[in-house]
Structure 1
Amino acid sequence: MTREPVRPRDAATVMLVREGSGPGGGIEVYMLRRAPSMPFAPGAYAFPGGRVDERDADRDVGWAGPPPEEWARILGTGVPTARALVCAAVRETFEESGVLLAGPSADRVVADTRDEAWEADRLALVDHSLSFADLLARRGLVLRTDLLRAWSQWITPAGEPRRYDTRFFTAVLPEGQQTRDVGGEADRVAWIRPAEAVRRWRAGELAMLPPTIATCMDLAECGSVAEATAGHRSIFPIEPVLREIDGEQRIVVPDGAVYPLLGGQEGGTR
Structure 2
Amino acid sequence: MSRTDTAPVPPRPAATVLLLRDGAEGLEVFMVVRHRAIAFASGALVFPGGGVEPGDRAIAAALPGLGPPEAAALRIAAIRETFEECGVLLARPRGAAALLDAARLARIAAAHRAALLGGERPFAEILVAEALEPAADRLVPFAHWITPASRPKRFDTHFFLAAAPPGQIAAHDGGESVESVWIRPAKALAETERGRRKLVFATRLNLMKLARYATVGEALAAAAAEPVVTVQPESVETPAGPMLRIPVAAGYGGELFPALDPPAM
Q: TM-score, normalised by structure 1?
A: 0.84
In 2: Cα distance, 1:200 partner to 1:234 partner: 30
Which runs of structure 2 are paired with 1:18-97 in the superposition (5 Å)? Answer: 18-21=21-24, 25-59=25-59, 63=63, 67-69=65-67, 79-97=68-86
In 2: Cα distance, 1:61 partner to 1:130 partner: 19
2:14 to 8, 11, 33: 11
Give aligned-pair identity as a percent: 37
In 1: Cα distance, 2:262 partner to 2:211 partner: 20
Which runs of structure 2 are paired with 1:98-247 in the superposition (5 Å)? Answer: 98-104=87-93, 105-112=95-102, 115=106, 117-230=108-221, 231-232=223-224, 233-243=226-236
Q: How many pairs does the alignment contain?
A: 249
Partner amino acid, structure 2, of 1:32? V
CA contact (8 A) 2:59 2:76 kept: no
Partner amino acid, structure 1, of 2:114? L
Would the alpha carbon gap of residues 245 and 33 (structure 1) be closer, same or farther in structure 2, given more than 3 Å must change? farther
Q: TM-score, normalised by structure 2?
A: 0.86
CA contact (8 A) 1:172 1:225 kept: yes
Between Structure 1 and Structure 2, which shows a larger proportion of helix residues?
Answer: 2
Q: Which stretch of the first structure deviates more once superposed, 1-10 or 164-173? A: 1-10
Residue deviations 1:45-88, cap 9 Å, x none? Answer: 10000011011011477758xx222xxxxxxxxx1211210000
Structure 2 residues without counterparts, runs of 5 or longer: 248-254
Q: Which stretch of the first structure deviates more once superposed, 89-98 or 248-257? A: 248-257
Partner amino acid, structure 2, of 1:187? V
Partner amino acid, structure 1, of 2:40? F
Would the alpha carbon gap of residues 262 and 43 (structure 1) be closer, same or farther in structure 2, given more than 3 Å must change? farther
CA contact (8 A) 2:60 2:76 kept: no
SS in 1 for 2:127: helix
SS in 1 for 2:84: helix
Aligned to 1:267: none
Moved runs in structure 1, 4+ residues, more than 6 A? none
In 2: Cα distance, 1:132 partner to 1:31 partner: 22
In 1: Cα distance, 2:115 partner to 2:80 partner: 12
Would the alpha carbon gap of residues 61 and 177 (structure 1) be closer, same or farther in structure 2, given more than 3 Å must change? farther
Cα root mean square deviation, aligned: 2.3
CA contact (8 A) 1:249 1:261 kept: no
In 2: Cα distance, 1:193 partner to 1:4 partner: 40
In 2: Cα distance, 1:44 partner to 1:120 partner: 30
In 1: Cα distance, 2:60 partner to 2:215 partner: 36
CA contact (8 A) 1:32 1:46 kept: yes
